[in-house]
């Protein structure tokens, strides 16, 4: 008989776990950044605060299917997170701020590569026509927007679950990280390629570059030709969009930058991938 599926809010997770421990039952916990689930012989309980988005789930399944097929047919270089910088304060950033006459505040262009990771996966041939068509047909219908759907679908290739096993209410051994090594490696290769593009931008425009984070870079507005930058990103296969902002360098942590307009502190604190 199949285990019964139950859905609950994340704020019920701790009390449910405590009850199972107190009753001395056997169960397994799996945790990701977004969800948690507890499996017993009789049931599987899913804990999440997100509303069910069946379109997003289908996109995730299509993307992982495509990624598996791609990895079956092509050798992908084995890399780790250490092969990727993810974010970096550029060499000339401190001088740019030092020469600014605005007491550490600086007007900048914030450049974003449009759909960078999804577009690169498409260009590599990872994503099938079926998946791309499904995304296009439903891009206005995803519960949390098309950008979030793309990021979750590709990110699902790298998802790591923390698995803990309990016997008679007691934890057995240490919690274990479980993930698909092949798909995770493909995702990291995509991220590394984007990271290289960001490095190319900061090198090309070294007199203006301040900071980059994933697929976003801050450029000093003084003396830079935005149309030229757009052509440069197109040469690398990516459209780009710009908005103006004001940033401030954190003097205590020189690799940190604050976007004054949005209040976002870079790098954003995230759990390890």
Do 251 and 153 lie in one domain? The reply is: yes
Do 41 and 71 lie in one domain? The reply is: no
Strand partners, 105: 248
Do 119 and 150 lie in one domain? The reply is: yes
Q: Is residue 18 part of a domain?
A: yes
Q: Distance between CA atoms of 229 and 48, rounded to whole angstroms?
A: 41
Q: Distance between CA atoms of 220 and 40, rounded to whole angstroms?
A: 56
pLDDT band at residue 49, thresholds of 50, 70 and 90? Answer: confident
Do 145 and 191 lie in one domain? The reply is: yes
| Stretch (H or E) spanning 110 | strand 105-113
Quick check: 112 and 215 in contact, CB under 8 A? yes
What's the DSSP call for residue 51?
P
**Residue 21 sits in which domain range?**
4-50
| Cα-to-chain-centroid distance, residue 34 | 12
pLDDT of amino acid 272: 40
Nearest alpha carbon to residue 214 among 137, 255, 158, 267: 267
Do 20 and 114 lie in one domain? The reply is: no
Q: Is residue 273 part of a domain?
A: no
Q: Is residue 90 part of a domain?
A: yes
Which residue did the predictor score with more confidence, 251 or 230?
A: 230
CA distances (Å), origin 197, targets 20, 47, 49, 155: 49, 38, 35, 19
Residue 39, domain CATH: 3.30.720
What's the DSSP call for residue 236?
T
pLDDT in tens, 81-108: 899 999 988 887 877 877 766 677 888 9
pLDDT band at residue 13, thresholds of 50, 70 and 90? Answer: very high
Q: Distance between CA atoms of 66 and 89, rounded to whole angstroms?
A: 35
Q: Distance between CA atoms of 90 and 171, rounded to whole angstroms?
A: 46
pLDDT in tens, 59-84: 999 999 999 999 999 999 999 989 99
Task: Tell me which residue has tokens 């697929």.
Answer: 215
pLDDT band at residue 6, thresholds of 50, 70 and 90? Answer: confident
pLDDT of amino acid 273: 37
pLDDT in tens, 240-272: 999 999 988 876 666 788 888 888 888 876 544
Rounded to the nearest integer, the mean pLDDT of the chain is: 90
Quick check: 7 and 48 in contact, CB under 8 A? yes
Q: Is the pLDDT of residue 138 over 50?
A: yes
Do 232 and 157 lie in one domain? The reply is: yes
Do 60 and 46 lie in one domain? The reply is: no
């Amino acid at each position: 008989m199949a285990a019964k599926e139950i859905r609950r809010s994340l704020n019920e997770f701790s009390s449910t776990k405590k009850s199972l421990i107190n009753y001395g039952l056997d169960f397994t916990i799996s945790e990701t950044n977004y969800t948690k689930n507890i499996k017993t012989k009789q049931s599987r309980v899913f804990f999440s605060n997100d509303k069910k988005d069946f379109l997003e789930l289908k996109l995730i399944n299509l993307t992982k299917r495509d990624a598996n097929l791609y990895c079956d047919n092509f050798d992908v270089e084995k890399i780790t997170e250490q092969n990727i910088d993810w974010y970096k304060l550029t060499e000339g950033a401190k001088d740019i701020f030092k020469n600014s006459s605005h007491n550490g505040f600086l007007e900048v262009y914030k450049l974003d590569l449009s759909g960078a990771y999804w577009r690169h996966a498409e260009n590599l041939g990872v994503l099938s026509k079926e998946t791309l068509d499904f995304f296009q047909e439903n891009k206005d219908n995803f519960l949390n927007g098309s950008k979030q759907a793309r990021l979750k679908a590709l990110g699902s290739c790298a998802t790591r679950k923390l698995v803990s096993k309990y016997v008679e209410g007691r934890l057995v051994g240490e919690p274990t990280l479980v993930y698909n090594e092949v798909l995770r490696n493909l995702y990291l290769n995509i991220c590394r390629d984007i990271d290289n593009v960001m490095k190319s931008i900061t090198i090309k425009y070294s007199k203006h570059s301040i900071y980059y984070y994933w697929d976003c870079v801050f450029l000093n507005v003084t003396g830079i030709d935005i149309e030229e930058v757009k052509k440069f990103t197109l040469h690398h296969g990516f459209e780009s969009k710009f908005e103006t902002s004001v940033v401030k360098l954190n003097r205590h942590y020189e690799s940190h930058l604050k976007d004054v307009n949005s209040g976002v502190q870079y790098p954003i604190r995230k759990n390890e991938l």
